[in-house]
Amino acid sequence: MSARVAITHVELRRVHLPLVTPFRTAHGVETVRDVLIVRVLGPDAEGWAECVAPAEPTYTAEYVDGAHDVLRRFLVPAFAAGEAAPVVKGHPMARAALEVAVLDAELRAADRSLAAHLGVTRARVPAGIALGISGSVPALLDAVERHVAEGYRRVKLKIEPGWDLVPVAAVRSRFPDLALQVDANGSYTLAAADHLGGLDEFGLLLCEQPLADDDLAGHAALARRMHTPICLDETITSATVAADAIERGACSVVNLKVGRVGGLAEAVRIHDHCRARGVALWCGGMLETGLGRALNVALAALPGFTLPGDLSASDRYFHEDLTEPFVLDDGHLAVPAGPGLGVSPRPEVLAATTRSVETLDLRR
């Protein structure tokens, strides 16, 4: 990777943003989002990006402390040396953050928006919301009703063994016309195929990642046994994997996340492949701040994104977002039109939430 503007410093900043709703993890409940912000600087350049790696290596192998370390010790030095090829295996979220920060700097210097760079024509995109495992069915119904009233165009329900057919049936009964989908985060095996087939009666948009992320054969077999479209999320780590999954019949829908596939360039390749083959596409979320949300909203404005993404308004996750908040308007979010990502951290929020700053000098 090389830059078309001079970059002399890379800043690795950790910010802590309190969450509106605590987020359940494998080891407890997360009440604060620990975010790694990458900022690149030069004589006439500044660019920002967010690394979406979570706090723990439980959802993905990548985690925020590891991403920070690999950026400091390997990725930034390689960038400073002008190395074009990846110098580490894996770590897509760290690589994506550096790529996006450099692109943001280049676009800001050229006074060009990310939307213009991507060639999108839509000024806004439909927003969907994801709801985690609730304490009870009545609590879930209350949450769905509240978010539907706010204007969200699609609701995604997390499911797992013991929390699937009953809550989905209850939501569908209360909201017969709601655009509804489910996400299993790989919590089932193919042995549950008959049980998962019970989802077919609810008219769902899709069933996301029902099996393990490395089980393409199982997903292909399940897709042949279910009417509900199978969507892959964690499985899709590159354009090569996406093409293989589609060719095998393992999915008919793809959830695309820039961080998971290693950057915007790879995300666009996956978009183009899916669009050419008529595979439905939507943009997933990783509890991003406004920096990451700006990137997602611009990406989701590409023509291949035919389903609402996990593109909630800022107040869904944060009491106060790092940037000016994204606000829901008639079920949509506006695509930022300013230079680069179109958003920047608010200085007062950045100062109040920063826990550490490390600046790497590329001139040494």
Q: Position 83: which residue type?
A: E
- Answer for the pair 252, 229: CB distance below 8 angstroms, yes or no: yes
Residues 6 or more apart in contact with residue 2 via CB below 8 angstroms: 79, 82, 84
**Could you identify the residue written with the tokens 């706010």?**
150
Say whether 52 sits in a helix, a strand or coil.
coil
Between 290-300 and 264-276, two packed helices, what is the crossing angle to 10 degrees? 30
- Cβ atoms of 256 and 282 closer than 8 Å: yes
Query: In 3D, which of 226, 234, 247 has the Cα closest to residue 186?
Result: 234
137 three-state secondary structure: helix
Q: Which long-range contacts (CB under 8 A, 24 or more apart) does 65-72 make?
A: 66/91, 66/94, 67/36, 67/91, 67/93, 67/94, 67/97, 68/12, 68/14, 68/36, 68/94, 68/358, 70/94, 71/10, 71/12, 71/36, 71/38, 71/97, 71/98, 72/12, 72/358, 72/360
Specify the pairing of strand 154-158 against strand 28-42.
Answer: unpaired
The C-alpha atoms of residue 179 and residue 156 are separated, in whole angstroms, by 9
**Catalytic site positions:** 158, 257
Q: 129 pairs with which residues across the strands?
A: 155
Radius of gyration of the CA atoms of the chain, in A: 20
| Burial tier of 359 (Cβ tally within 10 Å: 0-12, 13-18, 19+) | exposed
Is-contact 109 12, C-beta < 8 A?
Answer: no
| Helix or strand run (H / E) with residue 273 | helix 264-276
